[in-house]
Structure 1
């Protein structure tokens, strides 16, 4: 049996990576493409993005806010909107 690996996003704590992924997936599904992510959810995403394998590249000069946009094959994903006006998409599953 594989041991559960806990995940923490700021003050949020998940007992397993599976639980953290489910939480972020549910968050993504609350939004439609073109929506800006709420301030509460953005705070969680900012913490989650720090765990992304390309965090420094994705965060760049700083985070302004987050949005949801269309992605490949009709799916949707989170986008980080940076303080310099640039944007980058990122996989929320990579933030676990």
Structure 2
């Protein structure tokens, strides 16, 4: 099966695997507890919009993104909402659908 290109926001990737590697690299630049930079926030907003449950993940809106602990000792991106609630999400799920 040939590679399927994907565009996330204004960023183009030759295949979904390249996009997943890009976002994993971004996640690995942060430590648990860090707030995501403004530049990376724009990229995360674009990928989050692709999540199959984007409406539920975004909820009442996004104030910022952070990196926190996830299942099994891993870390992931979290949506931080205006009402103080948070929700974790997987960039891989966003990309793979």
Instruction: Say whether the fold is shared (TM-score over 0.5).
Output: yes
The equivalent of 1:4 in structure 2 is: 3
How far is 1:27 from its partner? 0.2
| Paired position in structure 1 for 2:13 | 14
Q: Tell me the distance in 1 between the aligned counterparts of 2:61 and 2:88.
A: 14
- Give the alignment's TM-score, normalised by structure 1: 0.95
Partner SS state of residue 63, structure 1: coil
- Which residue number corresponds to residue 81 of structure 1? 80
Task: Using the TM superposition, name which of 6-15 and 44-53 deviates more.
Answer: 6-15
1:42-90, Cα deviation, whole Å (9 max, x unpaired) = 1000000000111010011111110000111110000000122211001
When the two chains are superposed, the root-mean-square deviation of aligned CA atoms in Å is 0.8
Superposition deviation, residue 8 in structure 1: 1.5
Moved >3 Å (runs of 4+): none
Gapped regions of structure 1 (runs ≥ 5): none
Counterpart in the other structure of 1:38 = 37
Q: Gapped runs of 5+ residues in structure 2?
A: none
Count of residue pairs brought into register by the alignment: 95
The SS at the match of 2:52 is coil
TM-score (norm 2): 0.94
CA distance in 2, matches of 1:12, 1:63: 21
